[in-house]
Each structure stands twice: as C-alpha cells, then as structure tokens.
Amino acid sequence: MKLIPIAVFAIVVSLVFADGAKTKGETFQTDVKESKKPLIAGSKYSIWIPESTLSVQCIFAINMRGAGRHLFEQDQEWRALAKRTHSAILFCEFEARGVQENGYGQSMLKACDQFAIEVNRPELKHAPFVLWGHSMGGRVAQDFVRFQPSRVLAFHIALRANPSDAEFMQEEANSIKVPGLYLMGELDRKPEDIRKHFHHSREAKSPRAWIWLPGQSHWPRGMHFKKNETTPKDWRAWAANDVVIPWTEAMIRLRLPTGGIAKQKPVKLRSIKIEEGWLGSIDSGALAPYSKFEGNKSTTSWYPNREIANAWFKFAFQSRKQRQ
C-alpha cells in the first residue's frame, strides 16, 4: 500500500519530547467534600494551567487509575498540546468503576466549580472535557460520556481490560455522537464487550477509532501500580502519542465553536461531519476518504483527516513490520 506523506506535526512533537522541552504552567489543588444530598463523592483534585493562558477553552480530565498520574505530571507532549489549545489538565485522584451511581461524576463537576472560584477562572465551571483513562479509569471516561455527553468534547479509553455488565455498555444517542479512541494493547486481554461497544457505536456512525498498540501489554514497560521506571520512548509507544495528540487537537478544532469560551454558560459543541473524514481498516490498514472507502464502513476506524489516518497507519502497521 502506498502511504501518503504524513504531516510534519508528528515529527515536531517527537522532537519536542526528545529534547526534554518543558511547557511552563502552574498547578493548583482543591478538595471536594463528600455529600449525601446531593450525592457527591469526596476526592482531591489538581489542575495544571499553561503559562500565559488568558482563558481556558477545554479541560483534559485524567483519571488517576494506572498511568494517569504519569500522563498528568510527566508527559510534556500533552502539556504542549494543552498550551496550543488553551486547555487545562485536570487530575482526578480517585479510583472508581464509574461515575454515575457513586457521585464521582458530580464530584468532577464540583471540582471545576471550586477551581473556577479559587483560581479566578470562571470558564472552568463550564469548559468541555477531553477524557482519558487507563484500565479501570477507562470505565470512568466511558461512564462520564453516558453521564454528561454534552460536556464531553472527546474521550480516550486506554487498555480497559475487564468486562462490564450489559447495562453499563449501553449508550444513548447523544453519547454515541461523542468522538472517541479505543486504545488497546496488542498483547493485553481484550474483553469482547468493549469491542462490541466500539462496533455498535460505529454502526450508529459514531466518529470513533479502534487502535491496536503494537507489542504493548496492559502497562507501559517499566510501570505498574507501585513503580514507574518507564522510559520516554516506552511511554510514547504505549500512549500512542503520534496518533493521540494530533487526533485530540483535531477534535478540539472541529468541535469547539468560534469564540467558544464558557465563562457564563456551557458552549454548544459542534457535531462531527463523518462524511468529511477518512476510514481505516483495522485489520488491513487500507485507507480512503469516507465516500470512497470500499467495504463495510461500520467495521472501520474513523479519522478526521488524511494526515491523522496516515499517522495511525504508520504507528499501527509500519512499527509492527520494523519489529518483525
């Protein structure tokens, strides 16, 4: 298959990461107190805001489960992305299997309300979320989409291993419209329910993609619950930054309305026009514009443009060939 030249962007972010360049910013903390009525779970939260950000337009909400702390504290590519997109990074210091029935969804919203007052940034009260969660944290991201789909710009489910009950896997029409990435380790366990969740959403023309992480297990090499000795190279391969970073930036550009700063009220996120995107065969890597793809579109991954589709092909297929 002939590969169309990939955008320079992926090369640039790789060099930034390799050089150890750090994006400056400031971290703040808040503590949400437990409440029975209304049901709000108690938890600690941190938020990082890039230097010189006049107004936050988006919040990257990272669940602490698994590799979330590493992404929040050490991934300079995500911080550079936050600066470029006028976004903050929220770190949720709780472990949970979901957010709707236990008050953690309301807790996340309450944390943003508190930060809006405590750091004098009223836009944090309504800014839309980009969700990211590893393992059980993937369930948190998945459940928050069901809980508040209008607040979610996009989501990432990273290596969600354990199966869930049928009710948890159901999505309403508004949730299915939310763009998402399913990042699954090639060597990890692969529960059938999350595959069905992806395929059901694609049958409903959801702008989502399934990405196998070549050679990856449930954790980055050198990392587990009680240790973090992963190298920058191993982290990047596991986190799929060459695809995830440009995909996320494209979603922010496509979904945030012009002048979409949520100081007084929530912004109305724009819907994705999937006919303007690209499709990729998960098995073969075949790529084509949506209208020209030959085959069953509902079993493919959707990408917002040619450059990101190419980045996925290079990551998922060329890296596999290099290891063989």
Provide the pLDDT for residue 279. Answer: 99
Q: What are phi and psi of 18, to 5 degrees?
A: -65, -35
What's the pLDDT band for 261 if we cut at 50, 70, 90?
low
Residue 321 has pLDDT above 90, yes or no: no
pLDDT cut 90: percent of the chain above it: 77
Residue 172 has pLDDT above 60, yes or no: yes
What's the pLDDT band for 9 if we cut at 50, 70, 90?
very low
Q: Using an 8 Å Cβ cutoff, are 105 and 148 in contact? A: yes
Residue 319 has pLDDT above 70, yes or no: no
Structure token digits, residue 131: 């969700």
User: What type of residue is 240?
Assistant: A
pLDDT digits (tens, 9 = 90+) for 272-318: 999 999 999 999 999 999 999 999 999 999 999 999 999 999 999 98
Position with higher pLDDT, 50 vs 324? 50
**What letter does residue 100 receive in the DSSP assignment?**
S
Q: Which residues pair with 132 in a beta bridge?
A: 62, 156
Q: How far apart are CA 305 and CA 283, in angstroms?
A: 19
Residue-averaged pLDDT of the chain:
90
Gyration radius from the chain CA atoms: 19
Distance of CA 223 to the CA centre of its chain: 20
pLDDT digits (tens, 9 = 90+) for 29-70: 999 999 999 999 999 999 999 999 999 999 999 998 779 999
302-322 residues labelled b (16+ CB within 10 A) or e (exposed): bbbbbbbbbbbbbbbbeeeee
Q: Is 322 helix (H, G, I), strand (E, B) or coil?
A: helix
Q: Using an 8 Å Cβ cutoff, are 26 and 53 in contact? A: no
Q: What are phi and psi of 53, to 5 degrees?
A: -85, 110
Provide the pLDDT for residue 164. Answer: 79
pLDDT cut 70: percent of the chain above it: 91
pTM of the full structure: 0.90
Other CB atoms within a 10 A radius of the CB of residue 41 amount to 19
Find the mean pLDDT for residues 123-135. 96
Q: How far apart are CA 98 and CA 136, in angstroms?
A: 8
Q: Is 56 helix (H, G, I), strand (E, B) or coil?
A: coil
Structure token digits, residue 314: 């290079």
Q: How far apart are CA 125 and CA 135, in angstroms?
A: 27
Position with higher pLDDT, 264 vs 62? 62
Q: How far apart are CA 44 and CA 29, in angstroms?
A: 7
Provide the pLDDT for residue 2. Answer: 35
Structure token digits, residue 181: 């990435």
Query: Which residue reads 């692969």 in tokens?
Result: 190
Q: Using an 8 Å Cβ cutoff, are 203 and 297 in contact? A: no
CATH top-level class of 23-273: alpha beta
